[in-house]
Structure 1
Amino acid sequence: METATSASASATASVIQEIKHPWMMADPWFMVTMLGIYLYFVKEQGPLFMQFRKPYELKKLIIGHNVVQVLSCIYVLREISYLSDNAIYIFWKCRDLGSSPEMVRRYFELAYFLFWLKTSELLETVIFVLRKKQNQVSNLHIFHHFSTLTLIYILIHYNRNGLAAYYVVFLNSLVHIIMYSYYLVTAVADKGVIRALTPVKKSITVIQMVQFGLILTQVAFQTAICGMPKVVFGYFTFVIMVMLYGFYDFYTRAYKSPPQGKSHASVE
């Protein structure tokens, strides 16, 4: 006999299969092409282009980018609160999409918005390159932006845990509001204020690591209680583990070792 949990998951899968996604997200080729161009520019063509040029200042672009990110994350939190009836923090609960056309529509509209939001975050690396801050184009930075976009694609096409999957987005949006607000302040403040805010930068790294720990905790609960496709579980867990290790490694090198220059992947 099919359990209530598996029946709920089947209903969610049926709803997802009936959705017609925008052509840019209907298959992976658009995303793969974008990521290919991104990697080629930030690793090869961009540094070559900047080799004999002075760094661009790009202050207005940086301020605009940070403002857009903060406002976008506030919108995301609002939508998640609506979809989850303000109960997204109950991360162990199994949540399907239900049968309400309004809920299904807003679920996927949010997923599409997240796809473009994560695409816009690729601009950060481009800014690093154009400002000749190639040391900030670390493997962790590239992996982070590369993998988050692929995870949103998985959210659109292969999510079998319904609204529970937005717990990760909820946490990430909270972190990004703090992070991009800090970057916005440092983009417009004088050097004295930036120095005074140095402890905040350290705290943001700690918050990011806590975020990954909470995400892994939810994955364990969702897998045990609700079930999760093995491939999705494997890839998602791998990504989060790599990022947790990467941020911990950065933290130990940047804050527990003698300073060796700035290397944080941030738009400052």
Structure 2
Amino acid sequence: MRDPNMLQETYSHTMDIYHYLLEGFDPRLKDYPLMQSPIPMTTILLCYLFFVLYLGPRIMANRKPFQLKEAMIVYNFTLVALSIYIVYEFLMSGWATTYTWRCDPIDTSNSPQALRMIQVAWLFWFSKIIELMDTIFFVLRKKHGQITFLHIFHHSFMPWTWWWGVSYAPGGMGSFHAMINSSVHVIMYFYYGLSAAGPRFQKFLWWKKYMTAIQLIQFVLVSLHVTQYYFMDRCDYQYPLIIHLVWMYGTFFFVLFSNFWVQAYVKGKRLPKQDIKRCPNGTTVYTNGKHHENGNGVNHISPITTNGSAHYENGSTHMGKMKKA
């Protein structure tokens, strides 16, 4: 049996560390929702993981997938508008006004511009909480093949780390990647919104392949920007740890997305095995054929091969058409 005194001492040390971390928080954020302690934020993310990895699939196991077309259209275009607003606020609160795009320290004053940066930094973090709905849509629509390690890691790790970044370092050169990420999300959620709108918009979605390329460019820009820090004679940015984390984050995700690019567009391994079906007459039908890059479960055009010729039909209606043929 463990010594109660030792357990008490361990608990006391843990609480000391916790209170020490809280003392370093930016006091200007104390009135913002979910910013008083990391516990609510961590609880939300743990509930998210529990639902998408365990509870949600079990609930949906014996149910038909939900048809959430209207909800997804509203959701995607709302995030487009929110992302545009976040990019604009980042520009106006420093990046297009007073920042040099090199060594930009955090403005710790209570000036209107500094408080504006605080606000948009929090809003960017909160948008990551909203984006957890991407995976919820996957689960409710039974698109389990799209709940990949890359998707889950990105949607859980990003808001957790950014909560700490906002708490300690809202603004300065460490916020560059947030502005770039929001810019990419304007394009990304616009694409998903069009896709959710139905087959009549499919002809406007020829640029799906380039979504991954845009994301790769994002990580290159982020890594290059923070790499400047290592070659400066002097930089007064207050939290170098943020710079190191951003560099590792950009490099790590560049590797993951590069691997996806190679597997999907170089080797052509875009079709999960469970999406390949064979009809009794030997016809091969590919359902849900195109893999998603970190999306929210929109319908894509799937190739249907019949008698040696390739046709394209919406993945949700191809079976009816095959029976009719």
**TM-score interval (norm. to shorter):** 0.7 to 0.9
**Per-residue CA shift, 1:78-137, capped at 9, x if unaligned?**
211211162588431324315343123212211221222110000000100111001110
State the partner residue of 2:184.
Answer: 175
CA distance in 2, matches of 1:59, 1:214: 34
State the partner residue of 1:11.
Answer: none
For residue 263 of structure 1, report the CA deviation from its aligned partner: 3.2
Matched, 1:31 2:41: yes
State the partner residue of 1:184.
Answer: 193
- Give the counterpart letter for 1:176 in structure 2: H
- Give the counterpart letter for 1:169 in structure 2: A
For residue 207 of structure 1, report the CA deviation from its aligned partner: 0.7
CA distance in 2, matches of 1:229, 1:163: 10
State the partner residue of 2:291.
Answer: 263
CA distance in 2, matches of 1:41, 1:95: 39
State the partner residue of 2:262.
Answer: 252
Matched, 1:212 2:235: no
Q: 1:136 to 1:209 in 2, by over 3 A?
A: same
Q: 1:100 to 1:89 in 2, by over 3 A?
A: closer
CA distance in 1, matches of 2:229, 2:31: 26
For residue 163 of structure 1, report the CA deviation from its aligned partner: 2.7
Give the CA RMSD over aligned residues. 2.5
State the partner residue of 2:202.
Answer: 194
State the partner residue of 1:232.
Answer: 242
CA distance in 2, matches of 1:89, 1:253: 39
Which sits farther off after the overlay, 248-257 or 37-46?
Answer: 248-257
State the partner residue of 1:108.
Answer: 118
**2:223–2:246 contact (8 Å) kept in structure 1:** no
Alignment of 1:56-75 (within 5 A): 56-75=66-85
**Per-residue CA shift, 1:216-236, capped at 9, x if unaligned?**
111111354325645434433
For residue 156 of structure 1, report the CA deviation from its aligned partner: 1.5
CA distance in 1, matches of 2:212, 2:166: 28
For residue 57 of structure 1, report the CA deviation from its aligned partner: 1.1
**1:89–1:167 contact (8 Å) kept in structure 2:** no
How many matched pairs?
253
State TM-score, norm by structure 1: 0.85
Q: Which is higher, the Rg of structure 1 or of structure 2?
A: 2
- Give the counterpart letter for 2:132 in structure 1: L
CA distance in 2, matches of 1:237, 1:186: 33
State the partner residue of 2:286.
Answer: none
CA distance in 2, matches of 1:90, 1:66: 33
State the partner residue of 1:93.
Answer: 103
**2:125–2:163 contact (8 Å) kept in structure 1:** yes
CA distance in 2, matches of 1:89, 1:208: 24
State the partner residue of 1:164.
Answer: 173
For residue 205 of structure 1, report the CA deviation from its aligned partner: 0.5
**1:80–1:170 contact (8 Å) kept in structure 2:** yes
- Give the counterpart letter for 1:247 in structure 2: F
Q: 1:142 to 1:25 in 2, by over 3 A?
A: same
- Give the counterpart letter for 1:156 in structure 2: V
**Per-residue CA shift, 1:3-37, capped at 9, x if unaligned?**
xxxxxxxxxxx993565243611221111100100
State the partner residue of 1:84.
Answer: 94
Which sits farther off after the overlay, 258-267 or 245-254?
Answer: 258-267
Question: Greater strand percent: which structure?
Answer: 2
State the partner residue of 1:222.
Answer: 229
**2:222–2:247 contact (8 Å) kept in structure 1:** no
Q: What is the percent sequence identity of the aligned residues?
A: 30
State TM-score, norm by structure 2: 0.71
**1:80–1:88 contact (8 Å) kept in structure 2:** no
Q: 2:141 aligns with which of 120, 131, 137?
A: 131
CA distance in 1, matches of 2:74, 2:222: 29
Gaps of 5+ in 2: 1-23, 272-288, 299-325
CA distance in 2, matches of 1:20, 1:202: 42
